[in-house]
Structure 1
Amino acid sequence: MQDPKWRTAMQNEIDALELNHTWTLEPLPSHKKAIGSKWVYKIKYNADGSIERYKARLVIMGNRQIEGVDFQETFAPTIKMVNVRTLLTIATAKNWDVHQMDAHNAFLHGDLQE
């Protein structure tokens, strides 16, 4: 955590979380215990092997939650590979341009400017 590269990566993550209003501070009920969090670090590389950026993510240790007590349902949007293949097949048949994008931070209800 003393390395300026990782400190910048962590600050970028905190800034993105605050910019997207990811959370609100709420008082913890007296009968509840706060869920912990931890930092996950990853170095992203360019195709030539050079370092593109240092990436830090703050993740909640949700494995300590109990279904029905701490939450009622889960939702994780995903895509199946058959859907990706179908989209690429249609794009090829119609001669559409397809672009790949890497968003630094993406949120389910966030507005992306990229």
Structure 2
Amino acid sequence: MTDPNWCTAMRAEIDALEFSNTWHLTPLPPGKKPIGCKWVYKIKYNLDGSIERYKSHLVAKGYNQQEGIDYTETFAPVAKMTTVRTILALASARNWHLHQLDVNNVFLYGDLDEEVYMQLPSGIRTKGGD
């Protein structure tokens, strides 16, 4: 976590989360238990094997939550590989141009109905305080 490349990647993730108003810093209400979080790191490589960039994602440790208390249902949209292969085969057969997209921030497009309280990782400074 002291490597400048990873520090830059973590800062970019925190900045993106703050920019999208993913959270609001607030004192923990009585009777509420915060869930933890952790960093997930990945190095993206160019075709020639050189490093393109360092990526980090801050993920909540959702496995600590209890159904009915912290959440009511879960849903993660995932494309099946057979669907991806079918689309690629169709695009190839019809000479369609394909583009790849790398989503920078995974929290951008979901809304939660439940209140979730998460501890920020130690050492992180946010623009909202702490």
* Structure 1 residue 30: Cα displacement: 0.8
1:69 lines up with 2:69 in the alignment: yes
Q: Which runs of 5+ in 1 are unaligned?
A: none
Cα distance in 2 for partners of 1:66, 1:35 equals 11
Shift of 1:87: 1.4
Residue in 2 aligned with 1:20? 20
Pairs aligned (count) = 110
Q: Give the secondary-structure state (helix, strand or coil) at the position aligned to 2:58.
A: strand
User: What is the SS of the residue equivalent to 2:69?
Assistant: coil
Instruction: Name 2:102's counterpart in structure 1.
Output: 102
> Contact 2:17/2:107 (CA < 8 Å) preserved in 1?
no
3-state SS of paired residue (1:5): helix
Structure 2 equivalent of residue 30 of structure 1 = 30
1:7 is the counterpart of 2:7: yes
Name the CA distance, whole Å, in 2 between partners of 1:90 and 1:61. 39
Look up the match of 1:83.
83
Letter in 2 for 1:104: N
TM-score (norm 1): 0.81
Cα drift, residue 52 of structure 1: 1.3
- Kindly report structure 1 stretches of 4+ aligned residues shifted beyond 6 Å: none
Q: CA deviation at 1:26?
A: 4.4
| Partner amino acid, structure 2, of 1:48 | D
Q: What TM-score, normalized to structure 2?
A: 0.72
- 1:68 partner SS: coil
What is the CA-CA distance between 1:90 and the residue it aligns to?
A: 2.3
Distance 2:89 2:6 in 1: 40
**Distance in 2 between residues matched to 1:17 and 1:92, nearest whole Å:** 37
Larger mean CA deviation between 73-82 and 93-102 belongs to 93-102
Change in Cα spacing, 1:19 to 1:92, as seen in structure 2 (3 Å) is: same
Amino acid at match of 1:97: H
Structure 1 residues 83, 19: CA separation in 2 closer, same or farther (over 3 Å shift)? Answer: same
